[in-house]
Amino acid sequence: MSLTDTYGRVHRDLRVSVTDRCNLRCTYCMPPDFADWMPGDHLLSIDELMTVIEVAVGEGIVSIRLTGGEPLVRPDIVEIVRRINALPVPPRVTLTTNALKLAELAQPLADAGLERVNISLDTLDPERFKRLTFRDRFDDVIAGVEAALAAGLHPVKVNTVLMRGVNDDEAVPMLRHSIENGWHLRFIEQMPLDAQGSWDRSEMVMAAEIHDLLETEFTLTPVPGRGSAPAEEFLVDDGPATVGIIASVSKPFCSACDRLRLTADGQLRNCLFARDETDIRATLRDPSLTDEQRRERIAGLLASSTLAKLPGHGINDPSFIQPDRPMSAIGG
Ligand code: SF4
């Protein structure tokens, strides 16, 4: 069985948001006083999450990325990783985090079977960190990165969003620091997914600009064989260090997309920018269904959502409308 859409894209990667809660307030994601969380009883339980993941693996999903909000604020996150890893044919399990709780959880997560982490960090300046996240927690992030490296969660990928006139002066220092500390750095173009709906293309630092910024200090050589990976990879000064650039807006990679997303409240999204969702939670909680019927129906919902997938995000189309659901309630 495979989850193939009408453009021939085979979906093998499921991004699973396990909560919409977060312990940071990144300016490009949510306002500092944001508190419009999903109702607690809408969040899927660990058993419900596992039912969807088991069915998805049966339909051809081979990798699971756990996301949030911030997944490490969910108390049973280690148990979720352990249960995914205990499946008869376990998918690869990775996780995207802001690393605030990673110093405490990196080793238990690695022991539970987590393969690696993506860590969001947009600056090396503690004061700027505080302004960008409304939290004075820079040192905790660095401790988290070091704990991930020590626990063998390799490669430790660090994702940085550059914003014009905010932190774009740190492109070169971030790369130099990453090379010196064994981080795998990727720059991501800022996407129109903020809760405030205030994304402005002119504030974005485009992939081409990022490339030129880095080339003022380094020589970048494209690494061939990208496949469905979002990042365009480059050797830095002939390697072995590399850097990635994720040009979601200026050079979309939708034609090779293999990702589906499950939100923390049980909605299936066939694209990060989907305007429609498929309700899985209702099926999970339908008392009239046997477990077998429930799993069959979920498999059907995965297939129909995949078949309904559009060719791309349409951000560059005049008709583009930002999704109602913010990034914090979808997951990276
Ligand atoms: S924008 Fe949508 S279609 Fe494009 S790569 Fe992302 S998830 Fe896939």
What residue spans define the domains of the chain?
3-330
Ligand 1 contacts CB of residue 253 (under 6 A): yes
Any atom of ligand 1 within 6 Å of the Cβ of 280? no
Q: Which residues contact 180 (CB under 8 A, 6 or more apart)?
A: none
Query: What are the distances in angstroms from CA 264 to CA 31, 68, 327?
Result: 20, 8, 12
Q: Which of 65-74, 159-168, 226-235 has the lowest mean pLDDT?
A: 226-235
Question: CA torsion sign, 80 to 86 to 89 to 95?
Answer: positive
Whole-number Å distance, alpha carbon 189 to ligand 1 midpoint, is: 14
Q: 187: number of CA atoms within 13 Å, CB side?
A: 29
Average pLDDT of the chain, as a whole number: 96
Q: What is the mean pLDDT of residues 234-261?
A: 96
Rounded distance between C-alpha atoms, residue 107 and residue 151, angstroms = 5
pLDDT above 80 (res 73): yes
Q: For atom 1 of ligand 1, which residue has the closest CA?
A: 313
pLDDT average, residue stretch 43-52: 98
What number is the average pLDDT over the span 144-171?
Answer: 97
Give the CB-side neighbour count of residue 13, counting CA atoms within 13 A: 18
DSSP-assigned letters across all residues of 44-64 = PPHHHHHHHHHHHHHTT--EE
Q: Does residue 153 have its Cβ closer than 6 Å to ligand 1?
A: no
Q: Distances from the Cα of 218 to the Cαs of 108, 234, 294, in angstroms?
A: 37, 11, 54
Is the CB of residue 254 below 6 angstroms from any atom belonging to ligand 1? yes
Is the CB of 15 inside a 6 Å radius of any atom of ligand 1? no
The reported pLDDT for the residue numbered 37 is: 92
Average pLDDT rounded to a whole number, residues 210-221: 98
* Residue closest to 93 by CA, chosen among 123, 72, 63, 70: 63
CB 174 within 8 A of CB 185: yes
Give the C-alpha separation, 184 to 244, whole Å: 8
Q: Is the link from the previous residue into 69 a cis peptide, with omega within 30 of 0? A: yes
pLDDT > 90? residue 87: yes
Q: Is there a contact between 263 and 332 (Cβ–Cβ < 8 Å)? A: no
Q: What's the 270 CA to ligand 1 centre distance in angstroms?
A: 8
**Ligand 1 contacts CB of residue 272 (under 6 A):** yes
- State the pLDDT at residue 226: 78
Return d(Cα 310, Cα 308) in angstroms, integer. 6
Residue nearest to atom 7 of ligand 1 (CA): 271
Q: Does residue 183 line the site of ligand 1, with CB under 6 A? A: no
The span from the CA of 104 to the CA of 108, in Å, is 8
Cα separation, 16 vs 94, in Å, equals 10
Cα 188 from chain centroid (whole Å): 11
Helix 46-58 to helix 77-85 angle, to the nearest 10 degrees? 30
CATH of domain 3-330: 3.20.20.70
Whose structure tokens read 């430790």? 156
Confidence band for 332, pLDDT divided at 50, 70 and 90: confident
pTM of this prediction?
Answer: 0.96
99 neighbors 86 (Cβ within 8 angstroms):
no
% pLDDT > 70, the chain: 100
What are the structure tokens assigned to 252, written together?
């979309």
The CB density around residue 322, as the number of other CB atoms within 10 Å, is: 15
**DSSP conformational letter for 290:** -
In this structure, is the dihedral angle defined by the CA atoms of residues 140, 142, 143 and 147, taken in order, positive or negative? positive
**pLDDT tier for residue 228 given thresholds of 50, 70 and 90:** confident
For 85, counting Cβ atoms within 10 Å of its Cβ (0-12 exposed, 13-18 middle, 19+ buried), the class is middle
Chain length of the chain: 332
Local structure of residue 271 (DSSP, 8 states): S
* CA count, 13 A, side-chain hemisphere, 218: 24
Of the candidates 23, 183, 205, the residue with the CA atom closest to the CA atom of residue 119:
183
